[in-house]
Amino acid sequence: MTAGDVSTKTKRKTASRARGRKPEGRPVPSGLPAREAAVRLASAVLHHGRSLDEALAKEFQSSALAARDRALARLIAATVLRRLGELEAVLSSFLEKPLPERQGDLWPILLAGAAQLLFLATPPHAAVGLAVEQARRDRFARRYDRLVNALLRRTAREGADVLAHCDAARLDIPTWLFERWTKAYGEADARRIAEASLAEAALDLSVKGEPAPWAQRLGGIVLPTGSVRLKAGGRIEDLAGYAEGDWWVQDAAAALPARLLGAVAGRTVADLCAAPGGKTAELAAAGARVTAVELSASRLARLRANLDRLHLDADLVEADAATWAPGHAFDAVLLDAPCTATGTIRRHPDILRLKRPEDVAALSQQQARLFDNAVRLLKPGGKLVYCTCSLEPEEGSDQIARLLAREPRLSRLPILPGECGIESDWLTPEGDLRTLPYHLPNERAELPGLDGFFAGRLVLGG
């Protein structure tokens, strides 16, 4: 299909609609602002290298968009980022020649339209009509409005058939990442990890009290690890217990590392790399005397706000945890190091488009520096849990192996099956935690999965 290859009937209809008033003069159709926001969000990630969270904060800081439209914009943008390879394959299969260079937001408009048609069950008249309208309001894409109409109509009719022959795992996961997973886990598991990473994650909550009453009240289930799981969607702030600070959002796998420190009531714990504070909250709720260390002032402010909502307390320190030296040691240290976060693609599909192979090496060097300082902060006999939400061995098991080799006073305290509800196939032969996105299956399609977390537990000899 080309810019000129549009049926005469369609041409006549679109021409008569476009005649007369300029698009900017027409009333804004309902649903358009959400689609425009979605295209800006996807472009911010794909063309400007911003994270989706940053883009969302910027997009909505002064936006009049209603909560429902914001959620829709996020959903469309996240679907474009998650399913980019498949969407490009479908659209490209209908294009006879590449799109011209200077075309404004034409391509992201097409991607967002196709995402709605193929993955979000948006009625074709809405997805196509609003994409055409969007193109008409874009200075450079305007002259391709008929192409948008024809391409998306064809996507609505034939796109599902093209999709059925696509290898989603290979198209949507960047080759370098899929190859890394194949090397680390084998081809079959790499494929399972990829497929599970492309599903949207459920909403997991860590609750202060007993989980069962909260699961009942919120219409969720209690997981074997004690987290409460709900179907994702809707405004978190509107759920019962949010304003009262009875729970916080935290993936079930992310809730495990802090609990691996065991009974912490009355003990001093350094929580390194702490914001936004899910693990700080767990430790504080368990009665620990927590010092939370975080490099970013803005993220530390968010941690403070989160603790305030939860009526929990901790000492907050803005510092580089790789060099921080408070002059005293702690009973326990938790290091949740910055990482490529490849275990959290379900929640952060922008990772697929932003991370590069070289990030693994750079971050693993930073993790080693943080790890060395974590050991310096530990009292003899103290426990240290190191964790990352990465699937890459360099950011997980290799860090533990290297630290044990250079620090003979440390030894591994293997994690045992059943501890904190941990299943045996989430553990490595050495006794480290290695959750994968396909773990914790569930017969309800919206409830399975875990973030890919690594955690190792060590103890410092006297």
Ligand X SMILES: C[S@@+](CC[C@H](N)C(=O)[O-])C[C@H]1O[C@@H](n2cnc3c(N)ncnc32)[C@H](O)[C@@H]1O
Q: Name which position in 70, 153, 279, 457 contacts ligand X (CB under 6 A).
A: 279
Of 107 and 248, which CB lies nearer to ligand X in the complex structure?
248
* Nearest approach, Cβ of residue 402 and ligand X (Å): 18
According to the binding rule CB under 6 A, does residue 299 interact with ligand X? yes
- What is the DSSP pairing of strand 410-412 with strand 433-434? unpaired
Contact 358, 435 (CB under 8 A): no
Q: How far, CA to CA in Å, does 43 sit from each of 80, 86, 91?
A: 10, 17, 17
Choices 133-141, 277-285, 392-400, 420-428 (CB under 6 A): range interacting with ligand X: 277-285
| Residue 296 sits in the site that holds ligand X (CB under 6 A) | yes
Show the binding pattern over residues 322-351: x = contacts ligand X (CB under 6 A), - = does not: x-------------x-x-------------
For ligand X, give the closer residue by CB, 295 or 420: 295
Of the listed pieces 108-116, 121-129, 203-211, 314-322, which binds ligand X according to CB under 6 A? Answer: 314-322
> Distance between terminal CA atoms of the chain?
73
Residues from 189 through 248 that contact ligand X (CB under 6 A): none
DSSP 200-264: PP-EEEEESS-HHHHHHHHT-EE-TTS-EEE-S-S-GGGSTTTTTT-EEE--TTTTHHHHTT---
Q: 302: part of which helix (H) or strand (E)?
A: helix 297-310
CA gap 397, 432 in Å, rounded: 8
Q: How far is the CB of 42 from ligand X (least distance, A)?
A: 24
Q: Is cis: bond before 276, omega within 30 of 0?
A: yes
Stretch that binds ligand X, among 19-27, 38-46, 114-122, 287-295 (CB under 6 A): 287-295
Question: Pairing relation of β-strands 247-249 and 203-207?
Answer: antiparallel
Q: Does residue 277 interact with ligand X by CB under 6 A?
A: yes
Question: Which is closer to ligand X, CB of 179 or CB of 315?
Answer: 315
Which of residues 38 and 274 has its CB atom nearest to ligand X in the complex?
A: 274
Cβ closest to ligand X, residue 194 vs residue 341: 341
Binding-site member from 293, 310, 415, 433 for ligand X (CB under 6 A): 293
Contact 314, 271 (CB under 8 A): yes
**Span interacting with ligand X, options 60-68, 108-116, 169-177, 317-325, rule CB under 6 A:** 317-325
278 binds ligand X (CB under 6 A): yes
Residues contacting ligand X: total by CB under 6 A: 17
Q: Does 302 bind ligand X (CB under 6 A)?
A: no
Contacting range for ligand X; rule: CB under 6 A; set: 33-41, 268-276, 350-358, 394-402? 268-276
241: exposed, middle or buried (C-beta count within 10 Å: 0-12, 13-18, 19+)?
Answer: middle
Enumerate residues 6+ apart whose C-beta is below 8 A from 402: 368
* Measured distance CA(29)–CA(460) in Å, rounded: 64
**Number of residue whose CB is nearest ligand X:** 273
The residue annotated as part of the active site, out of 273, 339, 387, 389, is: 389
Instruction: Kindly tell me which residue out of 179, 320, 372, 425 binds ligand X, with binding defined by CB under 6 A.
Output: 320
- Annotate 98-143 with three-state secondary structure: CCCCCCCCHHHHHHHHHHHHHHCCCCHHHHHHHHHHHHHCCCCCHH
CB nearer to ligand X: give 184 or 301. 301
Reference 107, options 82, 127, 130, 80; nearest CA is 80
Known catalytic residue: 389? yes
Q: Which residues contact 319 (CB under 8 A, 6 or more apart)?
A: 293, 294, 295
Catalytic residues: 389
Judged by the rule CB under 6 A, the positions of this chain that interact with ligand X are: 273-279, 293-296, 299, 320-322, 336, 338
